[in-house]
Structure formats: C-alpha cells, structure tokens
Amino acid sequence: MAEKSLKPKKENRIKRWWRETVGELRKVTWPTPREAMRLTKIVILVMLIMGALLGGLDFLFTKLIGFVLG
C-alpha cells in the first residue's frame, strides 16, 4: 500500500520539474544568430591569444629552467 502512495508523488515531482524548466527556458533571452557568431569569434580569438601567451611563457620558463640547471 505504501508503494502506491509514493509513485504519484514521484510523477508529480517530475512533471513539476519539467514545467518549471520549460517556464525558465521561455524567460531566457536567446542571442540572434549574428550575435552568437560574433560571440563565438570573440571566444575563439581569446582562446588563441591565451594559448599563444601560455605557450610562450612555457617556452621561456623551460629555457630558464634549462639554463639554471644545465
């Protein structure tokens, strides 16, 4: 008997979660395709700059450690 009373509560929780999720997604301000492309380009550019910066620092520190130890 206790098992039957738990099942509807679980279904209600799932349905409520789904309704709330859909409601929240309707409130989101989605970017236009043009904005999404612009933001994607910015992210890729920042990644390339940071990759080059970190690669350069890695190279310099490797040379410095080699100089100090060798």
What are phi and psi for residue 26, nearest 5 degrees?
-70, -25
Do residues 40 and 32 make contact, with C-beta atoms less than 8 angstroms apart? no
14-43, pLDDT tens digit by residue?
899 999 999 999 999 999 999 999 999 999
pLDDT band at 12 (very low <50, low <70, confident <90, very high): confident
Compare 49 and 11 and report the one with higher pLDDT.
49
Instruction: Fill in the DSSP letter of residue 1.
Output: -
Tokens 């206790």, residue located: 2
Closest CA to 31 of 46, 43, 17: 43
Q: What is the pTM of this model?
A: 0.59
Kindly tell me if the per-residue pLDDT of 52 is higher than 60: yes
